């Protein structure tokens, strides 16, 4: 099943978890070198554990906590994409179409971020690349064909997005721990990519 199909079939919790996981992986772009930013989204994960969890207040607290975060270089597209993920989050996770649109937008933005960080000329305009991201998201499995021609960071991010959606589809709330583990692993990968980029600029 393609990534797009998984998003279409996901329920509200799965969609919120999918978007949140993308944002969580990219939060180093909003928090600079401050590792405390890693935990700023923890209350939002907690809000997904039950049907009536409060999503709006922890979202506002996260936005406030990250409002003063310094992004990368001026005009850094990766940081701007991460900021849009946070700013675009719906006030309620049960917002129907709004949650689906946010999850889909986060999926695209996170893949674009990883493609930007995979390129040494990360300040250049983001090209279409060897594989158009929309085609990649619509490609069915198996992974051998779906991942062919993708750069390492993009391929790994695609796998993570699929894994999160499959965990929530198969296990519901019980899949949240695994989904958060996937996000944590991806955050470490992205932070390492940012370190390499900083060394290259230096």
> Of 10, 8, 90, which Cα lies nearest the Cα of 47?
90
The torsion angles phi and psi of 131, rounded to 5 degrees, stand at: -135, 125
Task: Give Cα 183 to chain centroid, integer Å.
Answer: 8
State how far the Cα of 125 lies from the Cα of 104, in Å rounded to an integer.
22
pLDDT digits (tens, 9 = 90+) for 164-202: 999 999 999 999 999 999 999 999 999 999 888 877 765
- Please, what sign has the CA dihedral across residues 147, 180, 57, 92? positive
The total domain count for the chain is 1
pLDDT, tens only, 137-168: 888 865 545 666 788 999 999 999 999 999 99
**Which one, of 5, 25, 7, lies nearest residue 16 by Cα?**
7
Find the domain containing 120 and state its range. 3-201
Among 141, 168, 179, 174, smallest CA distance to 15 is for 168
List the one residue out of 22, 11, 176 whose CA is nearest residue 105: 22
Residue keyed to tokens 């305009």 = 125
Does residue 142 have a cis peptide bond before it, meaning omega lies within 30 degrees of 0?
yes
| pLDDT higher than 80, residue 109 | yes
Mean pLDDT in residue range 41-57: 88
């Amino acid at each position: 099943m393609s990534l797009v199909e998984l998003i279409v079939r996901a329920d509200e919790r799965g969609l919120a978890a999918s978007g949140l996981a993308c944002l969580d992986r990219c939060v180093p772009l909003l928090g600079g070198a401050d590792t405390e930013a890693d935990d700023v989204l923890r209350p939002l994960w907690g809000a997904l554990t039950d049907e009536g969890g409060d999503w709006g207040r922890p979202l506002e607290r996260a936005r406030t906590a990250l409002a003063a975060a310094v992004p990368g270089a001026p005009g850094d597209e990766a940081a701007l994409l991460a900021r849009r993920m946070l700013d675009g989050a719906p006030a309620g996770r049960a917002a129907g179409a709004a949650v689906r649109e946010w999850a889909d937008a986060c999926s695209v933005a996170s893949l674009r971020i990883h493609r930007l960080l995979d390129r040494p000329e990360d300040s250049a305009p983001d090209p279409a690349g060897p594989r158009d991201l929309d085609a990649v998201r619509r490609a069915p499995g198996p992974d051998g064909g779906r991942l062919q021609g993708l750069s390492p960071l993009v391929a790994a991010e695609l796998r993570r997005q699929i894994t999160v959606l499959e965990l929530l589809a198969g296990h519901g709330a019980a899949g949240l721990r695994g989904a958060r583990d996937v996000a944590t692993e991806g955050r470490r990968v992205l932070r390492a990519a940012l370190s390499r980029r900083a060394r290259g600029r230096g």
